[in-house]
Amino acid sequence: MARMHARRKGKSSSTKPFRVGKPDWIEADRKEVTDLIIDLYHKGYSTSRIGIELRDSHGVPDVKTAFGMSMYDILKDKGENMEYPEDLMNLMRKAVRMHRHMSENRGDVHNKRALQLTEAKIRRLGKYYSRSGALPQKWSYRLDKAKLIVAD
């Protein structure tokens, strides 16, 4: 498979091992892990950070394979509303930082190209999340709105 923004081929990232059900060695039950996810989310942890905490400290390698629901679905069922998905927020933070760098360093053409690629990823992800219902149908990316959302 070719890379997204380059005309060369390359290896993709590693894949998770194929697993059908909950591993036998997981000792935590569903309620305990759900309560832990909610508690860590209220402490301000992102979903990826919660996953790392569960893996390293509590022996849960993957929430979805262990319990059949993704962390996003668990948070949604418990009434926690994430305004923007985490990957989209990270890309918007990156774009705001790049734009700030561009305003200070006008001649950085490499950063200009990287900003264009990052904004293309944001728009592509925004279309996906609009179709899937995680974002409003009329959502569109604009840098001035991203600066207000991120408030970095």
CB atoms within 10 A of CB 76: 14
Which residues, 6 or more positions from 94, have their beta carbon under 8 angstroms from its beta carbon?
118
Q: What is the DSSP letter of 133?
A: T
pLDDT at 140: 93
pLDDT recorded at residue 62: 86
What is the distance between the alpha carbons of residues 105 and 101, in angstroms, rounded to a whole number? 6
Q: What is the reported pLDDT for 13?
A: 66
pLDDT in the model for residue 139: 93
pLDDT, residue 61, reads 87
| 35 close to 24: Cβ distance less than 8 angstroms | no
Total length of the chain:
152
Q: Where are the domains of the chain?
A: 30-77, 86-150
Residue with tokens 């591993």: 23
> Which amino acid, 9?
K
10-residue averages of pLDDT along the chain (152 residues) = 67 72 81 92 92 91 85 88 89 96 94 95 94 91 91 66
Site of tokens 């305003």: 103
CATH superfamily of 86-150: S15/NS1, RNA-binding (1.10.287.10)
CB of 56 within 8 A of CB of 29?
A: no
Residue 152 has a pLDDT of 54
pLDDT of residue 30: 86
pLDDT at 80: 86
Task: Name 2's bridge partners.
Answer: 9
pLDDT the model gives residue 50: 94
Residue 28 buriedness (CB in 10 A; 0-12 / 13-18 / 19+): middle
